[in-house]
Structure 1
Amino acid sequence: MYDGSHFASTGEASGVDESLWLMGRAHYKPVIEICGGTEIGGGFIAGSLLQPQSLSAFSTAAMGCSLFILGEDGSPRPFDSPGVGELALGPLLFGASSTLLNADHYGVYYKGMPVWNGKVLRRHGDVFERTSRGYYRAHGRADDTMNLGGVKVSSVEIEKVCNAVDESVLETAAVGVPPPGGGPDKLVIAVVFKDSKGSKDNLNSLKVSLNSALQKKLNPLFKVSHIVALPSLPRTATNKVMRRVLRQQFSQVGSRL
């Protein structure tokens, strides 16, 4: 959307390069990012012209919405504390659903969620980061997790390490693929290169670098089983990476991974 001076973007926040390209078409005015969902009848987090903006990030909760980032113990982090965790919403939210077709509304959104000020928080399902400067960044679905050698880890944690390993890497997607004969998931990394020319020849050396980085920064038991070079990652209309699609594709060729 373009109002003559600023662009607005819905769904997940655009990438840094995408944001700069779009800003360049509006005299480098900030892109106002908005993220929401059908089940809440609108947005829950957004950018604002009343605040300084940051590339590929959100600056504030939407009007009438409260945001909570849950810590490892499942409790809300302090509001001014930077960190990454599953996002929860305050239960009093304009337009939020109260029933679901063919599903238990309470079970989907409230069961097992922490209580804050006497009210049960509403599950959202995305992983969000609050930066040290107070901005918010989306990191995909919280249920994009896998079990590697008995250790539960999110795709986001692995991808954050993989994206920084080599300058030739544009983005990655990490999925756990069950082997055909059963057993622990195999870690498969889908890689999109900034320049595809000649990059596929370097997959073996990249695999070594990824293993080294993951074992050093996350867990010495983690091991990349296979790397698949793709021209782009499958995404929803709102720019969310569809890791389940990759998992299904890789599972179908599991015997060759």
Structure 2
Amino acid sequence: MSDASRATSPGYPGEPAPARLNLAELAIGRAAAAAPDRVALVVVTDPAAPAEAVERWTFGELDRAVRSVAAGLLGQGLEPGDRLLIRLGNTSDYALLHFGAMAAGIISLPTSPQLTADEVAFLIEDSGARAVAMSDALAVDLPPAVSRVSPADVARWRAEASPAAYGLTRAEDPAFLVYTSGTTGRPKGVLHAHRSAWGRRPMHDAWLGLSEGDALLHAGAFNWTYTLGVGLTDPWINRATALIYNGARDPGVWARLIEAHRATIFAAVPGVYRQLLRSPDLEAADLSSLRHGVTAGEALQPALLEQWRERTGLELYEALGMSEISTFVSSGPGTPVRPGSPGRPQPGRCVAVLPMDGGDEPLGPGHTGLLAVHRTDPGLMLGYWRRPEEEAQVLRGDWFVGGDLVEIGADGYLTFHGRADDVMNAMGYRVSPLEVEDCLARHPSVAEVGVTEVEVSPGVRIIVAFVVPRNADDSGGVDEAALMTHATEHLAAYKRPREIIYVEALPRTGNGKLRRRDLVSLAPAPR
């Protein structure tokens, strides 16, 4: 995506990013200059510990630590543009290295500690990482040319290094690299620029309702880009407090943390809200500080939204996004929630629906196609790391086209039909698994449900629903006839599951997202 195309293509109507921009300075340095004594970060390990006993950072302290880490990385021989792969547990060192690298102009590569040694080796080779930050517990063998950064190094730099100035990076310079699924089966790197933080600004009002003085509790770990963005970058840009929990997890801990630390906004995936709603701690906790919850990562089922509203009296705002741009469609304080829809394009976004079979002429309201974002949006990635063939597949004229299958109504509300590669083919009709899941989840005996296609014999595929019963002591689960009757009442014949399989739990990622492709492994072998 060239600078020339950004300069000549109409599209993004918002304020352009300044030519000189450093993501870490935007998120931390400016807040430290304006309010050095304000609390920036609270990390809680023991939810029962008094508020004054937890790990706490002011913006001034965070600014000095981040710039000291930047100086240490440069002193170790890394140069601006080098890649630093981060493989640490869920501690504040993760944030210091992520933002410290970007402060120095080094490209941060956050990864999950759950990756295997082989997966890490692939990322090191593919990214050309010059260094890996890892703890002893997560250590892997490194190639001879790749140096190691340890938590002890971070502690030493904080104590001894003279803080570096924020790097004089350009808005278009690379800031961080995240890996996601590729069309070839290999993970692909999504390369983001320093301007990506500038491009997050529309979501601050339109989705998060975030402002100075807020305390945002995020349910994710430090290594997740959802946490690094919504949990840290967004609060800090607004001089708000970020709350992160890194202790032992149980479903009710979030309610206790909201009460103990007076959180005003709670951010999580729908699965976390689902678990919280089952916990008696939700009823017992004082949630009077909380204005609303926000959710992203997978579609919010209307039944879950209704339960949250009934139990808390609060709103739950959904957002839709992509790894390539973060969230850009949402409900929020100024966009009323419409159950079953993630909302409308945020003010300032230039969004369209393009035909599935090609072309760059946007479809009109009510037509289903692929969700696209104009290439001038400052939040959009620079491109795929060393994957020109994959990048070519998602660019159509002035548009970046993702894999989300949607329609946008005349009033701007978007209906999400799932990923294009998740859409099932039933009797010649395209069926979104989300539509079937939303229907079945409304049945009172269903706690969770995931839907996908399963090959039951060579060439024969049917829609199968994998259901977790609401009552754990149900032997054999739900009355299947009653659930099928419910489906008959709410779904066209071709959308109904042909089979229901009862399971104890659905396969999910460490951050609670449904691993839809793994559902097939729960089904009996094809006949």
- 1:135 and 1:201 map into 2 onto residues whose CA distance is 34
Provide structure 2 residue ranges, at least 5 long, that are not aligned to the other structure.
Answer: 1-215, 217-263, 266-288
Amino acid at match of 1:142: A
SS of residue paired to 1:127:
strand
Per the normalisation by structure 2, the TM-score is 0.37
Structure 1 unmatched runs, 5+: 114-118
RMSD of Structure 2 on Structure 1 (CA): 4.0
Cα pair distance change 1:25/1:224, threshold 3 Å: closer
Identical amino acids, percent of aligned pairs: 23
Question: Could you tell me which of 378, 403, 416 is aligned with 1:94?
Answer: 378
Matched, 1:76 2:362: yes
Cα gap change, 1:22 to 1:245, in 2 (>3 Å): same
What is the Cα deviation at residue 102 of structure 1? 4.8
TM-score (normalizing by structure 1): 0.67
One-letter code aligned to 2:461:
D
> What residue number does 1:116 align with?
none
Q: Which residue of 2 aligns with 1:189?
A: 465
* 1:159 maps to 2:460: no
Q: Which has the larger radius of gyration?
A: 2
CA distance in 2, matches of 1:134, 1:50: 14
* 1:53 maps to 2:337: yes
Query: How big is the shift at 1:246?
Result: 0.7
* 1:229-240 equivalent positions in 2, closer than 5 A: 229-236=502-509, 240=513
Q: How far apart, CA to CA, are the structure 2 residues paired with 1:105 and 1:87?
A: 17
Q: How far did residue 244 of structure 1 move?
A: 0.6
CA distance in 1, matches of 2:335, 2:383: 35
> Residue in 2 aligned with 1:246?
519
Deviation track 1:103-143 (CA, whole Å, cap 9, x = no partner) reads 32433412xx5xxxxx3432221233546764334343121
Please name the residue that 2:300 is paired with.
14
- Name the CA distance, whole Å, in 2 between partners of 1:211 and 1:62: 34
SS at match of 1:35: strand
* Residue type at the aligned position of 1:191: V
Q: Deviations over 1:129-169 (max 9, x none)?
A: 546764334343121134456x2533437616853895544
* Aligned 8 A contact 2:436 2:451 in 1: yes
1:36 maps to: 321
Q: Contact 1:7 / 1:23 at 8 angstroms: preserved in 2? A: no
Question: Which residue pairs with 1:125 in the alignment?
Answer: 403
Aligned to 1:145: 423
Q: 1:232 to 1:47 in 2, by over 3 A?
A: same
Sort the Cα spacing of 1:227 and 1:12 in 2 relative to 1 into closer, same or farther, 3 A.
Answer: closer
Alignment CA distance shift 1:32-1:189 (3 Å): closer
Q: In the alignment, is the contact (CA less than 8 A) between 1:84 and 1:129 conserved in 2? A: yes
Q: Distance in 2 between matches of 1:161 and 1:35?
A: 17
**1:33 Cα offset (Å):** 2.8
Letter in 2 for 1:90: H
Q: In 2, Cα distance between the equivalents of 1:69 and 1:154?
A: 18
Q: Distance in 2 between matches of 1:11 and 1:160?
A: 16
Shift of 1:237: 5.8
Residue 228 of structure 1 and its aligned partner are, at CA, apart by 0.6
Contact 1:236–1:242 (CA under 8 A) maintained in structure 2: yes
CA contact (8 A) 2:405 2:420 kept: yes
